[in-house]
A = this chain, B = another copy of it.
Amino acid sequence: MTPAPSTYREVAALIRDRIKRGEYPRGSALPLQEDLADEFGVTQSMVSRAIKTLAAEGVVQPIRGRRTIVTAIPPIHRNPSIRYSRAARERAGGKGAYDAEIRSLGLTPGVELRVERVIPPANVAEILGVSADEVSTVVRARVMTASDGETTTTTQLADSYIPLEIAADTVLEQDDEGVGGMVSRMAELGYAQVRVTESITGRPATAEEARALGISEDQHVYDVTHVGWSAEGRAVEVALHVMPQHMWILDSEFPCD
């Protein structure tokens, strides 16, 4: 006999345990909120609230009009230290770090790219030292996905901004950046990046991000601002990454003298 829960946190804990024990397998639908409410002797509102907290944890994915799904894909590791070594890039067969990360989980990566000349966000303009009031950058906006054969999950939004002065009428405005990725192309254009800095914050997804990522507004994302610096100390690329927190583990590595 299940102990009767009396708070939504207790309800959430019960459901969380069942998921952990495999009673509700990854990718499957939870029972109806109505049925869970009956089972637990509480109202549907309360089950809804419980499920909302599980959604915030990234354990489940409630879908309005359909059902609540148990999150399917295990967390993906991201390691920018390795990402920017030439050796690691070559090891990945010129396909980029993301490909390798996804394939190592037995999933199929996908990327959708949109290239456009745009007015940059204010913070990006400031870092790049370009105007925030006019079309001064090229953005390469990527939507990155992972597929397990049945369902496709959006794992990351990555918007990469390059000053128009650098990118205009170059391969950087093309849809295919070729082997070695953008960093290699920029090096060939005389804007080699010798150093990258990253700044990570965490926050709930905006309504727009939630839609694009297929998550709820209660779920949190990492907001990574990535800056590539040339040897002269000039910022030549700013990339804004938005990644659902439950989908990623952020790894890094530093020497220590």
Number of this chain's copies in the complex: 2
Known A199-B250, A249-B199, A249-B200; contact A194-B255, beta-carbon cutoff 8 A = yes
- A200 close to B56 (CB less than 8 A): no
Docked CA distance A180–B198 (Å): 26
A interface residues (Cβ-Cβ under 8 A, vs B): 9, 53, 56-58, 75, 80-81, 84-86, 183, 193-204, 217-218, 220, 222, 228, 245-246, 249-257
Using A218-B56, A254-B81, A257-B85 as known contacts, say yes or no to A249 and B201 having CB atoms under 8 A apart.
yes
Partner of A245, one of B80, B193, B202: B202
Contact, CB under 8 Å: B84 / A253: no
> Contacts A218-B56, A220-B220 given: A256-B193 contact, CB under 8 Å?
yes
Q: How far is A246 from B58 in the complex, measured between Cα atoms in Å?
A: 18
Report whether A56 and B255 are in contact in the complex, using a CB–CB cutoff of 8 Å: no
A9 to B205, CA, bound (A): 13
Q: Is the interface of A mostly helix, strand, loop or mixed?
A: strand
Instruction: Determine if B84 and A255 form an interchain contact, defined as CB atoms under 8 angstroms apart.
Output: yes
Please determine whether B201 and A200 come into contact, CB atoms closer than 8 angstroms: no
B257 adjacent to A201 (CB under 8 Å): no
Q: Tell me how far the C-beta of A182 lies from the nearest C-beta in chain B, rounded to whole angstroms.
A: 12
**Quick one: closest B residue to A222, CB to CB?**
B202
Best-surrounded residue of A193, A249, A256 (most CB of chain B within 10 A): A256
**Least CB distance, A54 to chain B, in whole angstroms:** 10
| Chain B residues whose C-beta falls within 8 Å of the C-beta of A252 in the assembled complex | 80, 197-198, 200, 252, 254
The CA-CA distance from A164 to B37 in the complex, in Å, is: 49
Please state if B56 and A204 are interface contacts (CB–CB under 8 Å). yes
> B85 contacts A201, CB within 8 Å?
no
A203 lies within 8 A of B57 (CB) = yes
* Cα A252 to Cα B251 with chains together (Å): 11
Q: Please state if A228 and B245 are interface contacts (CB–CB under 8 Å).
A: no
Please, how many angstroms separate the alpha-carbon atoms of A198 and B53 in the complex?
Answer: 27
Q: Is B253 a contact of A195 with CB atoms below 8 Å? A: yes
- Sample (14) of A-B pairs whose CB atoms are under 8 Å apart: A56-B56, A56-B220, A81-B254, A85-B256, A85-B257, A194-B255, A195-B256, A196-B256, A198-B251, A198-B252, A200-B249, A201-B249, A201-B250, A202-B245
